[in-house]
Amino acid sequence: MKTIIDSKLYLWFTVVCLGICIILAGVSLYSVIFVENKVQQLLMVEETEQAMSYNEAYIRLRNPQIFAGYDFFDVEDSVIKKILSYFDSKLSSDENIEGADIEYLYMLLDRRISGSRLGIKTSAFFLILSIGGLLAFLYERRTLHKIISKICAYFVRLYSYMKNMRKKGTN
C-alpha cells in the first residue's frame, strides 16, 4: 500500500488556490480599473453627447462581471432583467438611451461594482487559503518547525535574561 505524501498535497493545494486568486483578482481589477471608470466617465458627459455615450455605457455594462451576472436569483434580478430587455429593445430599434434612463444605467453600474468588490474579496480569501497551505507545506517539510523552534528558543533566552536582570535589580 502506498503512503500519501502530505507535502505534495499541500504544495498543489497552495498552487491551485494561488492560481484561482490571481485569476479572480485579475478579472475584478480589470473591471474596477478599466470598465467601471470608463462607464462613469460616459455617464457624466455633456448633454450634446449624451445619447451616444449612454448607448456605449450600456453596451459596456451589458456583459456582466463574473460575480455580477444577470442570471442569478436574487432580489434585484427581476428589476435588472426588465432594465436589460428595455435597453435591448431600444438599441435594436435604433433608438438612443435618453437622460431620463440614467437611473437604470446607474443600477447596472452598481451591480457591476458590487460584483467586482465580491471578486476582490473572494481572491483575498483564496490568498489566505494559499498562505495556509504554504504554512502547512513548510511545517510538513519541517522548515517551519525549525524556524518556530528558533524563535521560541530566542524568547526563552530573552525571558531568562530579563528574569536575571530583575533579580539583580532587587538585590
Q: Which residues contact residue 35 at a Cβ distance below 8 angstroms, ignoring those fewer than 6 apart?
A: 60, 65, 112
pLDDT on residue 61: 82
Number of domains comprising the chain: 2
pLDDT on residue 83: 81
| 164 part of a folded domain | yes
- The answer to whether residues 149 and 72 belong to one domain is no
pLDDT on residue 74: 65
Q: Helix 77-92 vs helix 102-140: angle between axes, to the nearest 10 degrees?
A: 120
- The answer to whether residues 164 and 87 belong to one domain is no
Cα dihedral 129, 130, 131, 132, rounded to 10, equals: 50
- The answer to whether residues 155 and 126 belong to one domain is no
pLDDT on residue 125: 96
- CB neighbour class for 28 (10 Å; exposed up to 12, middle 13-18, buried from 19): buried
User: Tell me: the pLDDT tens digits for 49-107?
Assistant: 666 788 888 888 887 777 766 666 566 667 777 888 888 888 888 888 787 888 888 88
Residue 15 has pLDDT above 90, yes or no: yes
- The answer to whether residues 86 and 125 belong to one domain is yes
- The answer to whether residues 112 and 161 belong to one domain is no
- The answer to whether residues 94 and 33 belong to one domain is yes
| 147 part of a folded domain | yes
Residue 158 has pLDDT above 70, yes or no: yes
- The answer to whether residues 58 and 103 belong to one domain is yes
- The answer to whether residues 64 and 133 belong to one domain is yes
Residue 171 has pLDDT above 60, yes or no: no
Q: Containing domain of residue 65, as a range?
A: 6-140
Q: Is the overall model pTM greater than 0.75, yes or no?
A: no
Q: pLDDT band for position 169 (50/70/90)? A: low
- The answer to whether residues 104 and 154 belong to one domain is no
Q: Which residues contact residue 31 at a Cβ distance below 8 angstroms, ignoring those fewer than 6 apart?
A: 65, 112, 115, 116, 119
